[in-house]
Structure 1
């Protein structure tokens, strides 16, 4: 009797119990999947935001350093003679035309980088900035200058300059921009700036242009730099911040940059008064170094967008960041 009674009480799960268990299991699995997907989405968004911030940091770091040094040289000289041949005809050589020049969205830069859809071409509706400087880094000390043979002697043979390079040479009194016609590395470094064909208009490097000049020992020679900053199309179908130097080869600096705006603060050289507000490039009357109102600060604004749709609305993350840069090498009014 007892055995039959015990066996009669042993039974499996009913259909209702199985269905309830299945539903509870699905709810738990669904919750786990939901948490996983939510965490994955948050991770992707955080990664995308981190990439944007890193791209912005790199872009502002490099561009701001370049803008800050516009018009500068390693000696702090305030006047510069530019002896490059036909300098006014080329954006990168036109020192007297302005060491910093802006271009707003209505100003095409056909002679530099035109608007277009090709790789490296400028994105329509974006601003651009051209910056010229005396190469504030990696200079070499001048130990002697012979204006008759047009040769500079350096303190080291271990320089990286070559014939054809454009250099800025300076001492405490003045600076000069010239193209090298010959270079030697032994026993000491020597640089020749002789007039030769399409190189220099004169061998006299004094200021005003054409004046004789002997640079003093202790002066510096550095590679002249000219950079054009703009937003261009990259080879991956997106847009990036680009920099182009005098070689004409665009260099991608930071991806995910979709737009750039540049605004300028002016100072009147007679009164010393600052402008009332930031202005765009089209509102600057003159960029040349003798202009009545000189640019003394630049406000750079970058628009950035992730390459993937990692936002909560399944759209790319977008950020707009700005950075203000003061020009260090503007003469006092």
Structure 2
């Protein structure tokens, strides 16, 4: 009889070395492809986040700047180019100016801001030209304004006007108002204006009665207790406002240790008692600002040229401002390679992996262009 237990000669065989190597190689390729897909998705997400962050900063920066620059020079019904503005505030700060040639002013390539030298060089001339420093902006002046960046200051009358309820009999009389919508307090700078004249003075007292509000302008903080005229009931009183914009180092860093810069603003408003405004952070990620001023030198309602602040000899012909911003995302590794941008006429190269963008806007000044 045939032994069936010995009849099977078939053997089960496994993978050979070649097959094993092929399987391992395919697995590694699939793993590498998966990792690359994940990394690409992560980089794309960071890039999208960086672009969104920079765009938000751009929009908000231009919103702030355009709001104040379009208000610059406002003094109520008269045009600032036609009104005779009488400044009687004693020793006013450098930002408290409001005339056709002073309601806007700038400084380019900051090295030392005028306040640091007792206002000896208010115009930002050639001696104030700063060097174009390295990307980290390590060199800054005493106010911590980023050197190689520009600053701009604008001033105007607050839109919250109070009507004069009783005509003045004498130029030294207190000003009787119907209300106090600007919340004027003693020490504030204020403007009284009709459609012909205007006075910029210091509020020395504020008293409220059932009839209205009385504003004093005594000689304690003014060069004279007399206004330029006895204003009638057609006049209005405004709080004085100003704003200075600048770039500063926030003192913060990104996760990789890069310095974070921001747009700062020093904003004077009524209700502060005349105290000097502090420079506060407004928009994160603004690394530099460059400004050019459009001049209408022949008063024909069109721009003849754009120049830097130090080239402006007569600010009354400035009709527009060209703003160029350099912005950076504060998220590391948002771009995979070097980034090249043209800013302020120069080619800049960045290789720190942070997404950057240059944005430009032109803002027309009030009543200077058709």
- TM-score above 0.5, yes or no: yes
Q: Is the 8 A contact 2:203 2:216 kept in 1?
A: yes
The Cα offsets for residues 40-76 of structure 1, whole Å up to 9 and x where unpaired, read as 1011111111111111111111111211221112434
Cα deviation, residue 159, structure 1 = 5.5
Q: Is the 8 A contact 2:293 2:318 kept in 1?
A: yes
Change (3 A) 1:7 1:196: farther
Q: Is the 8 A contact 2:43 2:333 kept in 1?
A: no
Q: Is the 8 A contact 2:287 2:328 kept in 1?
A: yes
Q: Distance in 2 between matches of 1:133 and 1:223?
A: 9
Q: Distance in 1 between matches of 2:236 and 2:6?
A: 109
Q: Is the 8 A contact 1:302 1:320 kept in 2?
A: yes
Q: Distance in 2 between matches of 1:68 and 1:125?
A: 25
Q: Distance in 1 between matches of 2:158 and 2:9?
A: 96
Say whether 1:301 aligns with 2:330.
Answer: no
The Cα offsets for residues 136-165 of structure 1, whole Å up to 9 and x where unpaired, read as 3x4444433545541332246x65332212
Figure out how many residues of one structure are paired with residues of the other and give that number: 315
TM-score (norm. length: structure 2): 0.74
| One of 102, 108, 114 as aligned partner of 2:112 | 108
Q: Distance in 2 between matches of 1:142 and 1:259?
A: 44
SS in structure 2 at match of 1:31: helix
2:283 is matched with 254
2:48 is matched with 46
2:271 is matched with none
Say whether 1:93 aligns with 2:96.
Answer: yes
1:1-333 → structure 2 map (5 Å cutoff): 8-78=10-80, 79=83, 80-87=85-92, 90-96=93-99, 98-105=102-109, 108-111=112-115, 117=140, 121-136=144-159, 138-146=160-168, 149-155=173-179, 160-187=183-210, 189-197=212-220, 199-205=221-227, 211-217=228-234, 219-236=235-252, 237-246=259-268, 247-268=276-297, 272=300, 274=302, 276-287=304-315, 289=316, 294-307=317-330, 308-313=332-337, 315-330=353-368
C-alpha root-mean-square deviation of aligned residues, in Å? 3.1
Q: Distance in 2 between matches of 1:178 and 1:4?
A: 120
Q: Distance in 2 between matches of 1:328 and 1:3?
A: 108
Cα deviation, residue 321, structure 1 = 1.0
SS in structure 2 at match of 1:285: coil
Cα deviation, residue 10, structure 1 = 4.2
Q: Is the 8 A contact 1:77 1:170 kept in 2?
A: no
Greater CA deviation, 220-229 or 32-41?
A: 220-229
SS in structure 2 at match of 1:278: strand
Q: Distance in 2 between matches of 1:2 and 1:318?
A: 82
TM-score (norm. length: structure 1): 0.82
Change (3 A) 1:50 1:189: farther
Cα deviation, residue 5, structure 1 = 7.6
Q: Distance in 1 between matches of 2:155 and 2:39?
A: 50
Q: Is the 8 A contact 1:180 1:191 kept in 2?
A: no
Cα deviation, residue 167, structure 1 = 2.0
Q: Which runs of 5+ in 1 are unaligned?
A: 206-210
Cα deviation, residue 268, structure 1 = 3.0
Q: Distance in 1 between matches of 2:8 and 2:26?
A: 31
The Cα offsets for residues 178-215 of structure 1, whole Å up to 9 and x where unpaired, read as 22122234435414232242x2223333xxxxx22224
1:208 is matched with none
Q: Distance in 1 between matches of 2:304 and 2:6?
A: 102
Q: Is the 8 A contact 1:120 1:250 kept in 2?
A: no
